Amino acid sequence: MIVFDLSCQPNGHRFEAWFRSSDDYARQKDDGLLVCPECGSPEIEKAVMAPSVGRKGNQMPAREVRVEAPVEGEPVPTASVANVTPKMREALVKLATLQKEALEKSRWVGGDFADEARAMHYGEREAEAIHGEATGEEVEELLEEGVEIAPLPFPVAPPDIVN
């Protein structure tokens, strides 16, 4: 897993996002799957990040931190991070747990997300919790129509792909 600092171009909002690889970031960007969590803009670019500089011999090494899996035995991404506070760790675990619980109670609709969300919004289909994929253009249109949607904080793989 890799974390990038991202920036919303129209409004300058900055946020972090995790990806499986640089290629995964590029694919999601090309597919219009990246949106600003503050304003929903699909105009996202990598922000300038501080380079990783090796430590001096007399400095403490970065700690290896593992976020505990919500369910015993489930794999979770692991990252080497310096100075992670207990509060940050607690927040990450809570966020991952909440997303996992939300996804368990929702239905994967894949690329049909925009159509499914729109149909529920206009009463053409019974409302239910869903998750899937939408292009930046579809996200923009849904938000303009007043359809309540939100980006997921962590990437989600389709159910037929091992996550």
Q: What integer pLDDT is reported at residue 82 of this predicted model?
A: 54
> Hunting for tokens 């966020």 — which residue is that?
95
Please tell me the distance from the alpha carbon of residue 132 to that of residue 66, in angstroms, as a whole number: 27
Look-up of token digits 């300038």:
48
Query: Can you read off the two tokens belonging to residue 33?
Result: 């799957």
Please name the residues in contact with 65: beta carbons below 8 A apart, sequence gap of 6 or more: 78, 79, 80, 81, 84, 89
Between β-strands 44-46 and 2-8, what pairing exists: parallel, antiparallel or unpaired? antiparallel
Greater confidence (148 vs 84) lies with 148
pLDDT of residue 48: 65
Token readout for 65 is 């931190």
Q: At a CB cut-off of 8 Å and minimum separation 6, what does 52 contact?
A: none
Confidence of residue 66 (pLDDT cuts 50, 70, 90): very low
Which of 55-64, 112-121, 135-144 shows the highest mean pLDDT? 112-121
Closest CA to 107 of 66, 58, 143, 156: 156
Give 17-49 pLDDT, tens digit per residue. Answer: 888 788 888 888 888 888 888 788 888 888 765
pLDDT band at 67 (very low <50, low <70, confident <90, very high): very low
pLDDT at 53: 47
Burial class (CB in 10 A: 0-12, 13-18, 19+), 117: buried
**C-beta of residue 67 within 8 angstroms of C-beta of residue 77:** yes
Domain(s) labelled CATH 2.20.28 in the chain stretch across 1-49
State which amino acid sits at residue 11.
Answer: N
- Written out in words, the top-level CATH class of the domain with range 1-49 is mainly beta
User: Looking at residue 64, what is its pLDDT?
Assistant: 39
**What pLDDT is recorded for position 60?**
47
Instruction: Say which residue, 90 or 132, is predicted with more confidence.
Output: 132
pLDDT at 120 over 70: yes
pLDDT of res. 56: 52
Residues 152, 157, 160, CA angle at the centre, nearest 5°?
140
Helix (H) or strand (E) holding 24: helix 22-30
* Contact predicate 11/50, CB 8 Å: no
Residue 100 has a pLDDT of 83
